[in-house]
Structures are given as C-alpha cells and as structure tokens.
Structure 1
Amino acid sequence: MPIEASATGFQSAFVAGLLDPLVSAPDDVVARDGKSVVARYNVYRNNVTVSLIDALAAIYPAVQRITGVDFFRAMARFHIRAMPPVSPLLSEYGRSFPSFIEDYKYAQQMPWLGDVARIERAWLDAYHAADFPVITHDIFAAIEPDLLASLRFTVHPATRIVRSAYPALSIFAMNRREGPVSPICSAESEDALVTRPEQDVLVSVLPPGGAAFLTELSDGVPLGAAVSAAFDDSPCFDLQANLAGMISAGVFAGVTYGDS
C-alpha cells in the first residue's frame, strides 16, 4: 500500500473517534513510555470536544446565559457529534447551531432561542466583515427626483438581516449586556438589522416592511421595486424613515443609477 494511502487511512480512523465516544481508538495508535493508548486517546478526544464547546460558548454567549451553562454545554455536545467542524477556523464553526437548537427537543419550550442564536451569529459575521466606507445622507441631495426609483444600492459587507416571529432582538439585547435580566412582556415579531459602519457592531430593530425592503435592495433590485415589495410585506412601510435609519446605521456602501 502506498505511504500516502496508508497515512490517509490512519488519519481518517484517528479522526473518526474524536467526536464519538462509542468509537474505539484505532488499532495502530501507539503511546510513548508504555502509557495506555486508550486513556491518552480519550484525553485527546475530550480536549477536542471541550475546545469546540468553548468555541460555541464564545460565539453564542446570550444563548448560554439564557439556558444556563450546564444546559448549553450538553446541547453543544450533541451538536458537535451531529455536525462536526469542516473548517480549521473555530470562528467558522457553529453556523448550523441555530437550526440545531430549533430541533433540539429539550429547547422546544424556548421557540425563539434559535433566532437569538442567528442574531449572535450575524453579530460575529458583521464583526469580521471587511471594512468599507458607507454612504451618508447628503448623497441624495444631488439626485434628481425622477431618478430615485431606478437607484440601486450596494450593501455594506457587514450588513445582516435576521427575521423572527418572536421578540428575539429584545431577548438578545437583554442577555448580551451586564446586569440583571428583566422579563420581556411582548410577543411581537422583530426583524433585526446588524451592521458595523465603523468599529462597533450595531444591532437595531427594523421598522415594518424594512426587512423586505432591504432584502430586495441587497439582491440588486432598484429602489422603486423594493418599495413595492416593502408595501406588500407591510402597508405601514415608511420609505423616508427606513432609508434614513438604514443610512444612519451604515447599511449602504454605494449607490448607482439604473443599470450602471
């Protein structure tokens, strides 16, 4: 057998058991100084799992605060076994965690928890997004009124939208700050806008129709058509308020006319 094939087979066998305690150490693993192969492999396996759990806790601190440390770490352990990492970057791990939470049977009494996790993931992605200048309010002063409907916007790389049927943004905000947690007496849906115009990540609630409006603009749809989609989503849509709020939040990095 070629050396390369043998090495690949050994690596596959070694990795297979790292996230599954029911898999035994590979037969050709050896330990120095007569140490127990099984014991040392189990220590290594435990270290890998703990590192991944710690990575999830760092990405989803609000979720951990809501559930408690023991619940979170147990849930994270099940996620790791079901969905092992595919990237060597720990910051990239856990993108499927929000969906896993929604299906996790012990979290069913917290149906909003998956959306809270989505906001936390969006926060981290915005934090690591590329830096880019943002447009300001005065850019519209020179635009002819008859050109407004054809405007197309370039969305800043840090911009993220998380739509939720629950007050997930309020729950997120309450559990990401220091101090005691107060009850949230609302069951209203909330659409979260996550941006990073400068150094700090901003998380704010989008007004009615704002999520549909910004989603269309993000897809390259001209302003006039995006406004129509926003009104279809919510008859209460306010174009001026939405545009002003988005520009202030640093949502847009550029604007063009028509097909230019």
Structure 2
Amino acid sequence: MNPVSQGAFAAALLDRGDAVPAGLAGRNGAADPLRLAVYRNNVRVGLARALAARFPVTARLVGDAFFRLMADAYVDDRRPASPLLAAYGDDFPDHVAGFPAAAGLAYLADTARLEAAVSRAYHAADAAPLGLADLAGLAGPELGLARLTPHPAAFLIRSAHPVGSIWRTHQKETVTAPDWRPETVLVVRPDLDVGVHLLPAADAGFAAALLDGTPLGSAAEAALAADPDFDFGRALTGLTTLGAFARAVIPGENDDQ
C-alpha cells in the first residue's frame, strides 16, 4: 500500500459511508466494503470508549446511551491528532457545550472541562513545585513584581455550577446532590497524585490572575478591590502549598531562565 492509499485508508476508517478508497482491495484484488466496515466499527467503538474512559463522570451524569450519542457525533468530526488515546477529547467539553440535546444541562460542559483537566494533569510533565521558602526569599518590592509560572499540571476551572462537588460525589458509589452554587476548582499534580481542590470564592479571581501571568501585586490589588475581606497571605500560601506554581519570575532578573 503506497503512502497516498495509507492516508485514504486512515480517512476512510472514520467515514460512515460505504465507499472503499481507490487502491484498497482484498487478496482477490476486489474491493471489500464489508471487511472495511468491520475496521470502521472497531475504530469508532475504540474512540468512543476512550472518551468514556476519560469522561466517566460526564457519562454517568447522562447515562451510557446519551453519552454514546455525544461521543459518536464527536468522533464524526474529530480525528485523533496524536497516537496517544489519552489526549483524544481535549476539546470534547466544547462539543458537549454545543450538543443540542444537552442544551438543558448547563453544568455538563464544565463537568467535562474538569475531567479533561484531571486527565491532562495526570499526564503533564513532572516539575518541582514552587515552595513557601522560595517566596520567603523574595524582598518586599520583588514579591509585588513577581510573576508565578504555573506548574505544568495546574489547571483552573471556574464555573457557575458546583462542578467540583459534582466530580467529588461521583467518585463514590452513592451520589448525593451538592449545594448549587458557583465553584472554582484547582487541579494540580505536584507529586504523583492528581488533586482536585475547591478554592474559596474570594480567591477565584486572584488564582486566575496569577495563573494567567499577572504580577502578584496587581493580582492582589484587583482581588482586594473585588472583595475587601480578601486575605492575600492566606490565598497565596494556600495556592503555593497546593503546588499551583513552578517558579517565581522577577522581571529583568530571571525571566529568561
């Protein structure tokens, strides 16, 4: 099989039609659409199972049949961009958000976003997290100017729905209904295990600003303006202790490292 027909074969595996790519034939030299259909089905089933394995809470929330409908529609439009099936479905949450039959389940896409973050954190690069001792070594002016580089396994999900509580309760056999309120969830893996942490509401904007590269001083000022009760020390200590950052960058000093 030449390279052109290899590409055509790969494309045909995700095609729901009956056409057999030109140049693809069985041992007798004739096209065999039934045999190709077996390959097509195996590939589609495998991709759908990969999605179900990556988004188990999302699947549990809607049931196997409904999830399979969403997964089949996604497989129709998205070919794997990597040979690693663990990476398949990075944009599945956006697909869920736009899936017409799920329009009444406003929390579903953010739940899928949290699950995508959990799997991405699990497979993220290893890195030593920034410690409190590293921050303590910064002088006053330096602390305000410092930008904290996110840890490779740190992801923040801000939702109008209790997605962190939904995820947590679905880690158990018996599911209980959470209090319905907005939640901000920090997903981290500073060591071997992925952690899913609910952040205090007052810390949400501060955490988002820091992970987006805003200097510490500016992020703290904005957080205090939004909530006079915001506790800078507690919030920074909490995020650092959880392993949200990899290093502190001082402009003009170590920003090229």
TM-score, scaled to structure 1: 0.88
SS at match of 2:82: coil
Q: Which residue of structure 2 aligns with residue 79 of structure 1?
A: 74
The answer to whether 1:153 aligns with 2:161 is no
Q: Which residue of structure 1 aligns with residue 175 of structure 2?
A: 181
CA distance change for structure 1 residues 130 and 233 in 2, over 3 Å: closer, same or farther?
Answer: farther
The answer to whether 1:191 aligns with 2:174 is no
Q: State the distance in 1 between where 2:77 and 2:250 align.
A: 47
SS at match of 2:13: coil
Show structure 2 runs of 5+ residues with no match: none
Q: Which residue of structure 1 aligns with residue 85 of structure 2?
A: 90
Identity of aligned residues (%): 38
Query: Where do 4+ consecutive residues of structure 1 move more than 4 Å?
Result: 33-36, 232-236
The answer to whether 1:126 aligns with 2:147 is no
* Match of residue 112, structure 2, among 117, 136, 142: 117
Amino acid at match of 2:247: G
Amino acid at match of 1:223: L
**Alpha-carbon shift at residue 150 of structure 1 (Å):** 2.0
Q: Which residue of structure 1 aligns with residue 24 of structure 2?
A: 29
CA distance change for structure 1 residues 13 and 256 in 2, over 3 Å: closer, same or farther?
Answer: closer
Q: State the distance in 2 between where 1:43 and 1:214 align.
A: 49
**Alpha-carbon shift at residue 50 of structure 1 (Å):** 0.8
RMSD in angstroms over aligned alpha carbons? 2.3
Q: Which residue of structure 2 aligns with residue 3 of structure 1?
A: none
Give the 5 Å matches for 1:102-251.
Answer: 102-175=97-170, 177-186=171-180, 188-251=181-244
**Alpha-carbon shift at residue 86 of structure 1 (Å):** 2.3
Amino acid at match of 1:243: L
Per-residue CA deviation, residues 12-60 of structure 1 (Å, 9 max, x unaligned), is 4323332232242224322236898111100000001011011111111
Q: State the distance in 2 between where 1:185 and 1:220 align.
A: 32
CA distance change for structure 1 residues 259 and 207 in 2, over 3 Å: closer, same or farther?
Answer: farther
The answer to whether 1:17 aligns with 2:8 is no
Contact 2:18 2:33 in 1 (8 A): no
SS at match of 1:253: strand
Contact 1:16 1:23 in 2 (8 A): no
Amino acid at match of 1:90: L
Show structure 1 runs of 5+ residues with no match: 1-5
Give the 5 Å matches for 1:39-58.
Answer: 39-58=34-53
CA distance change for structure 1 residues 259 and 15 in 2, over 3 Å: closer, same or farther?
Answer: same
CA distance change for structure 1 residues 230 and 7 in 2, over 3 Å: closer, same or farther?
Answer: farther
Q: State the distance in 2 between where 1:219 and 1:113 align.
A: 25
Per-residue CA deviation, residues 147-206 of structure 1 (Å, 9 max, x unaligned), is 43122222211111111111111111112x1311112231x1111101111110011112
CA distance change for structure 1 residues 81 and 126 in 2, over 3 Å: closer, same or farther?
Answer: same
CA distance change for structure 1 residues 33 and 190 in 2, over 3 Å: closer, same or farther?
Answer: same
Per-residue CA deviation, residues 107-142 of structure 1 (Å, 9 max, x unaligned), is 122111111111111111111111111232234444
